[in-house]
Structure 1
Amino acid sequence: MHCDTIVLGAGIVGVCTALQLQARGRKVVLLDRDQPGSGTSHGNAGLIERASVIPYAFPREVSRLLRYGLNQQSDVRYSLKHLPKAGPWLMQYWRQSGSKGLAKATQAMLPLIEKCVSEHDLLAEPAGVTGLIQDSGWVEVYRTSADFDKAQRDAAALAAYKLNYRVLDKHQVHALEPGLHSDVVGGIHWLDPKTVSDPGGLTRGYAELFVQRGGTFVLGDATRLRATAGQWQVESQKGLIVAQEAVVALGPQARAIFEPLGYRIPLAIKRGYHMHYAAKHGHTMQHPILDSIGGYVLAPMVGGIRLTTGIEFADSDDPINEIQLRRCEERAQRLYPLGPRVDAAPWLGRRPCLPDMCPVIGPASRHKGLWFNFGHAHHGLTLGPVSGRLLAEMMTGQQPFTDPTPYSAERFN
Structure 2
Amino acid sequence: MKTDVIVLGAGIVGTSIAHNLAERGRAVALVDRRGPGEETSYGNAGLVERASIYPVAFPRDLSALIEVARGRNPAANYHWDALPGLIPWMYAYWRASAPARILDYARTMSTLLTFSLAEHERMAALAGAAHYFRDGGWLKLYRTEAGIAQERREFPLAHQYGLSAREIGLDEAMALEPALRPIFSHAVLWSDPHSVSSPGGVTQAYAANLKVLGGQVRRGDARTLTRLGSGWWVMTDDGPVEAPEVVVALGPWARDILASFGVKVPLAVKRGYHMHYRTEGNAGLSRPVLDEEGGYVITPMEGGIRLTTGVEFARRDAPKTPVQLEKTEPLARGLFPLGARAEAEPWMGCRPAFPDMLPAIGPIAGRRGMWVAIGHQHLGFTLGPVTGRLIAEMMSGEPTCVDPAPFAPDRF
Deviation at 1:315, TM superposition (A): 1.1
Q: After superposition, where does 1:20-39 map in structure 2 within 5 Å?
A: 20-39=20-39
- Structure 1 regions of 5+ residues with no counterpart? none
Letter in 2 for 1:317: D
Residue 304 of structure 2 is matched in structure 1 by 304
Match of 1:181 in 2: 181
> 1:242-288: CA deviations, max 9, x gaps?
00100000000001111122222100000000000111103111111
Deviation at residue 355 of structure 1 after TM alignment: 0.2
- Distance in 2 (alpha carbons) for counterparts of 1:102 and 1:260: 33
Inter-partner Cα distance in structure 2 for 1:100 and 1:24: 39
SS for the counterpart of 1:101 is helix
User: Are the equivalent residues in 1 in contact too, given 2:33–2:219 (CA < 8 A)?
Assistant: yes
Q: CA deviation at 1:322?
A: 2.1
| Aligned-partner SS, 2:331 | helix
1:85 to 1:274, Cα distance in 2 relative to 1, 3 A: same
Separation in structure 1 between the aligned mates of residue 366 and residue 101 of structure 2, nearest angstrom: 27
Aligned-pair identity (%) = 44
- The 5-angstrom pairing of residues 3-402 of structure 1 reads 3-402=3-402
- Offset of residue 103 of structure 1: 2.2
CA distance in 2, matches of 1:35, 1:287: 27
* Alpha-carbon offset, residue 157 of structure 1: 4.4
Structure 1 residue 123: deviation in Å?
0.4
One-letter code aligned to 2:290: L
Q: TM-score, normalising length from structure 2? A: 0.98
Q: Is residue 152–residue 188 contact of structure 1 (8 Å, CA) maintained in 2?
A: no
SS in 1 for 2:3: strand
Q: Are residues 128 and 187 of structure 1, via their aligned partners in 2, closer, same or farther at CA, if it must alter by over 3 Å?
A: same
Residue 155 of structure 1 deviates from its aligned partner by 2.3
The RMSD of aligned alpha carbons is 1.2
CA distance in 2, matches of 1:145, 1:178: 23
Per the TM alignment, residue 146 of structure 1 is displaced from its structure 2 partner at its CA by 4.0
Q: Give unpaired runs (5+ residues) of structure 2.
A: none
Give the distance between the partners of 2:20 and 2:191, measured in 1 at CA. Answer: 27
Shift in Å, 1:63: 1.1
Once the 2 structures are TM-superposed, how far is the Cα of residue 294 of structure 1 from its aligned partner? 1.7
Partner of 2:151, secondary structure, is helix
Structure 2 SS opposite 1:40: coil
Cα deviations by residue, 1:154-195 (Å, 9 ceiling, x for unpaired): 324422111123322011011111121222223111111110
Moved more, 52-61 or 265-274: 52-61
Check the 8 A contact 1:50/1:114 in 2, yes or no. yes
**Distance in 1 between the 2:180 and 2:392 partners?**
44
Q: Distance in 2 between matches of 1:254 and 1:316?
A: 12
The answer (yes or no) to whether the contact 1:148–1:185 under 8 Å persists in 2 is: no
**AA aligned opposite 1:209:** N
* Secondary structure of residue in 2 paired with 1:2: coil
The 1:411–1:149 alpha-carbon spacing in structure 2 relative to 1, beyond 3 Å, is closer
Q: Distance in 2 between matches of 1:99 and 1:166?
A: 23
One-letter amino acid matched to 1:217 = V
Could you tell me whether the CA contact under 8 Å between 2:274 and 2:308 is conserved in 1?
A: yes
SS for the counterpart of 2:83 is helix
Q: Secondary structure at the match of 2:372?
A: strand
Deviates more, 1:219-228 or 1:63-72: 63-72
Aligned residues: 412
Cα displacement (A) at 1:143:
2.0
Distance 1:401 1:369 in 2: 22
TM-score (norm 1): 0.98
After alignment, is 253-262 or 31-40 more displaced? 253-262
> 1:29 offset after TM fit, Å?
0.6
Cα distance in 2 for partners of 1:78, 1:338 equals 27
- 1:291-326 per-position Cα deviation (integer Å, ceiling 9, x unaligned): 111221100000000000000011111111121111
Kindly indicate whether the alpha-carbon contact (under 8 Å) linking 2:11 and 2:36 is maintained by their aligned counterparts in 1.
Answer: yes
Aligned amino acid, residue 48 of structure 1 = V
Assess, with a 3 A threshold, how the Cα gap between structure 1 residues 294 and 245 changes in structure 2: closer, same or farther.
same
> CA contact under 8 A between 1:127 and 1:206: conserved in structure 2?
yes
For residues 51 and 250 of structure 2, what CA distance do their matches in structure 1 show?
A: 26
